[in-house]
Structure 1
Amino acid sequence: MLYYLFDYLDREFDLIGAGVFQYISFRAGMAVLVSLLITITFGESLITMLRKKQVGETIRDLGLEGQMQKKGTPTMGGLIIIAAIVVPTLLFAKLENIYVILLLVTTLVLGAIGFLDDYIKVFKKNKEGLAGRFKVVGQVAVGLIVGATLFFSEDVVVREFSETPTEIQASGDTVINYEDVKSTTTTIPFVKNNELDYSKLNPTENDLITAAIYILIVIFFVTAISNGANITDGIDGLAAGTSAIIGLTLAILAYISGNAIFSEYLNVMFIPNSGELVIFCTAFVGACVGFLWYNSYPAQVFMGDTGSLSLGGIIAVLALVLRKELLIPVLCGIFVIENLSVILQVSYFKYTKKKYGEGRRIFKMSPLHHHYQKMEIPEPKIVTRFWIVGILLAIIALATLKLR
C-alpha cells in the first residue's frame, strides 16, 4: 500500500525521497524491519492475552528431560508470525503481483487450518486436534490452487532470450531479443544443462494431462514440506530458526531470479516479476527471527500448528514459484530428515512387529530431535547444531548456482 502511495507522490508531486520505494532492496529492508518490530513489540501482548485465556500447550509425557516444565506454555503464537508476514507485505509489496498474491493466500489458508487444529486442542480439550485427513485436505487444496495458478495463469512466465542480438542502427546499441513464455520447466541442481520440463513426463500431447501431472507435483511438495515444518516444531526455536535460514536463502534466489543481469551472469532462469518476492521473503525472515525473541529456550510461547503449517507451506510455494523445488531436499534438509525419521520409525516398527511379533525401533524416539533428547543432549545444543546443519545446507544450495 505504501508503495502505491509513494509512487503517486513521486509522479504527481516529485516528493523528495519518494522514489526510493521503487527499489526492491529498500522495500525489503523496510519489510524485515517492520516484521521484527511487530513480533517483538506485540509478542508480549499476545503472550499475556493467551495466558489470560488459558491457551496453554497440553504436554504428553514422553519421558524427555524438561518436557513437563513446558506444560501450560501459551501456544497459537503463530498468529504473531502470520501478522508479521502479512502486514509488511501489504505495506511494501506490489499487491497486483501474482506471486505475492499466491504467497498471501498460502499463508492465510494454512494458518487458518493450523489455527483450527490449535483451537480444538486448547479450547475443546481434544489432544488429537483437527483430524489428520482434514489437514491433508487443506494442504491439498492449497497445492491445487497454487498448481493451477502457476500452470494456467498468463502472468506466470519465464523469459527466453534469443542467441542473436539485434543492433539498433541509429545509436549503435544492441538489444537482446526475448520472449516471455508459458513453461513448466524447473531447475535441476548440480547439473550443467540444468532444466527439466515437466511436460516431458507426459507421453501424450494433452495439456490437461500435463496440468494434472504438474499440479500433483505441486501438491506433493506443499504437503510434504508443510508437514515437515510441523514435525520439526518440537523443541524451542528449532522450526523458527530453521525456517529463517531457509527464508533468507530463498530471498537471495528470488533476487537473482528476478534480476536480468544477475540471472544472465549466473545462467539462472529469469522469472519476470519474481524479484518482488524478496519483500515477502524478508518479511518472512523477520517474522521468524522476531518470534525467536520469545520462542528461544526456554520458550515463553509456542507457534503451534498455526505457525508451523503455514511456514512449511510458504517455503514450498516459494521454491515452486522460483523453479527451485528440486533443491528442496538440500535446502530443506532438516524438514526432510525429520519427516523421514518418522516414516522410517513407524514403518520399521510395523514391519518388525509383523515379522517377529515385537516392534523394534531405529531411533530412540522420532522425530529425530527427540532421538537426541533421549541421548540426554541439552535442548539448546540440539537446536544450535540443527541450525548449523541448516546453514551448511543453505550454503550448498546457493553453491548450486555455480557448481554444475
Structure 2
Amino acid sequence: MLYLLFYKLLGVNLFKYITFRSIYAAITAMFLGFYLYPYFERFLKDFQFKQTIKEYMPEGHKGKSEIPTMGGILIIVSLLLAVLLWSNLENPFVWVTVFVVLTFGLIGFVDDFVKAKLKRPEGISERAKFLSQLAAATAVALFLYKSGFSTVLYFPVFKELHVDLGLLFIPWAVFIIVGTSNAVNLTDGLDGLAIGPVITTSFVFLIFSYVVGNYRLATYLQLPYVPGAGELTVVCAAVIGASLAFLWFNAYPAEVFMGDVGALSLGALLGTVALLTKQEFVLAIAGGIFVVETMSVIIQRFVFKLTKRLYGEGKRVFKMAPLHHHFEKKGWKEPKITVRFWIVSIILALVSLSLLKIR
C-alpha cells in the first residue's frame, strides 16, 4: 500500500527499496503484536479458548490446560497487516502468500475451535483436515502452473543439476506446502519450540528471496533468477517481526499458544516461499527441526504397526513422538529442549546460507 502511494504515486524513491520496506515490515509486525496482545488475551479468555491437553501427554503438560490457545490469530493479523502495508500489492506472489496464510489459518482455526469449544480433544477428523489442506495447496499449485511459473526443480550445490517437472510440479507443490504445514504443527508441542525455527527459517528465506529476485545477485551466485521473488523478502521480514512478538508471550512459561491456526498457516507459508524461490531443498535443511520431528512420528508409527503385525506386540523406537516428547520422557526440562532445538536450528540456518556460495 505504502509502495503504491509513496513510490508509484508520489515518486518517493525510498519506498522503492525492498531492504527499507522489509525492515519496517518486521518492525510494524512486531509492534502490532506487542500492542494487540493485551486486547487479544482478553478476547481469548472471555471466549474460553483454552489449551486442550490429551491424556497421554507428559506429566509436565497437565498444568497447561488453563493457558489460552489460538494465539496464531495474532501472528496472522500482525503479519498480514505488515505485508499489506509495506509490500508491492501489484506483485502476484504477495497475494499467493496472503491466500495461503488465510486458507491454512482458517483450517487451523476450525480445528482449534472444535477442540476448545466443542470439547473434542482430537479436533476435526484427520481426513477432513488433510483434504482441506490438499484443496488449498492444489489451488495454489494450479494457479502457479497456469500462470506460467517455472516448473523446473533446482538442486543446491550442483549448479547444472535441475529437472523440469512439467505437470508433476502440481503434486510436488502440494507436497511441499502441506508437508511443511503439518511439520510445523507437529513441532509446536513445547513453549516457544516451533516459533524459534520458524524465525530462523524465515531469515534464511529472507536472504534467498532477495538474492533470487535480483538478477545480478542471482546470476553472480549461479542461482535461478525468479522475477518478482524479491518482494517475498518483505513477507519473510513480516513473519520474523510477528513471530518475535509472539515469542515474547510464548516463551517458557508460555502465556499463550499459537494453536493449529498459527502452526498450519506459518508452515504453509514457509513451504510456499520455498516453492516461489525455487529453494525447496534448502527448506529441508533450514527447517531441519521440522523434518526430524515429522520423521520421528512417521518412524514411530511405522515400526509400531510393523512389529505389532509381525510379533503381536508393537515396539516403539522413541519413548514418545514427536521427538521433543522423547526427550521430555528422558527427563530433560522443557526450556533445555527448546533452547537446544533453537541452537540446532541456528546451525542449520547457517549451513543453508552457506549454500549461496557452494556451487
Report the TM-score when normalising by structure 1: 0.86
Q: What does 1:5-404 correspond to in 2, within 5 Å?
A: 5-8=5-8, 10-11=10-11, 18-62=12-56, 64-154=58-148, 156=149, 183-198=150-165, 210-211=166-167, 213-404=168-359
Higher helix share: 2
Q: Partner residue of 1:2?
A: 2
| Cα separation, 1, equivalents of 2:57 and 2:15 | 53
| Cα separation, 2, equivalents of 1:197 and 1:67 | 47
**C-alpha deviation, 1:9, in angstroms:** 5.1
**C-alpha deviation, 1:28, in angstroms:** 0.4
Describe the superposition over 1:341-361 as per-residue Cα deviations: whole angstroms up to 9, x where unpaired.
011101111111111111110
RMSD of aligned alpha carbons: 1.3
**C-alpha deviation, 1:186, in angstroms:** 2.5
| Cα separation, 1, equivalents of 2:158 and 2:222 | 12
**C-alpha deviation, 1:39, in angstroms:** 1.0
| Cα separation, 1, equivalents of 2:235 and 2:202 | 9
SS in 1 for 2:26: helix
Describe the superposition over 1:156-195 as per-residue Cα deviations: whole angstroms up to 9, x where unpaired.
4xxxxxxxxxxxxxxxxxxxxxxxxxx3213201213143
Rg (Cα) greater in structure: 1
Describe the superposition over 1:122-157 as per-residue Cα deviations: whole angstroms up to 9, x where unpaired.
111111111111111121112212211221214x4x
| Cα separation, 2, equivalents of 1:3 and 1:75 | 35
In percent, how many aligned pairs have the same letter?
40
**C-alpha deviation, 1:275, in angstroms:** 0.6
| Cα separation, 1, equivalents of 2:73 and 2:42 | 14
**C-alpha deviation, 1:64, in angstroms:** 2.2
| Cα separation, 1, equivalents of 2:72 and 2:109 | 8
| Cα separation, 1, equivalents of 2:128 and 2:279 | 28
Is the 1:65–1:373 Cα contact (8 Å) retained in structure 2? no
Describe the superposition over 1:317-349 as per-residue Cα deviations: whole angstroms up to 9, x where unpaired.
000000011223212211111111011101111
Is the 2:67–2:255 Cα contact (8 Å) retained in structure 1? yes
Is the 1:253–1:322 Cα contact (8 Å) retained in structure 2? yes
| Cα separation, 2, equivalents of 1:192 and 1:215 | 24
Deviates more, 1:60-69 or 1:91-100: 60-69
| Change in CA separation of 1:63 and 1:319 when aligned onto 2, cut-off 3 Å | closer
Deviates more, 1:57-66 or 1:232-241: 57-66
Q: Partner residue of 1:176?
A: none
Paired residues, number? 359
Is the 1:334–1:390 Cα contact (8 Å) retained in structure 2? yes
Deviates more, 1:29-38 or 1:120-129: 120-129
Matching residue's letter, 1:68: K
Gaps of 5+ in 1: 12-17, 157-182, 199-209
Describe the superposition over 1:336-393 as per-residue Cα deviations: whole angstroms up to 9, x where unpaired.
1111101110111111111111111000000000000001111111111111111111
Describe the superposition over 1:18-58 as per-residue Cα deviations: whole angstroms up to 9, x where unpaired.
32111111110110000000111111221122112211111
Is the 2:201–2:283 Cα contact (8 Å) retained in structure 1? no
| Cα separation, 2, equivalents of 1:356 and 1:383 | 36
Is the 2:159–2:222 Cα contact (8 Å) retained in structure 1? no
Gaps of 5+ in 2: none
Is the 1:143–1:215 Cα contact (8 Å) retained in structure 2? no
SS in 2 for 1:196: strand
SS in 1 for 2:194: helix
| Cα separation, 1, equivalents of 2:356 and 2:214 | 14
Matching residue's letter, 1:351: L
| Cα separation, 2, equivalents of 1:74 and 1:28 | 31
**C-alpha deviation, 1:241, in angstroms:** 0.9
| Cα separation, 2, equivalents of 1:246 and 1:148 | 26
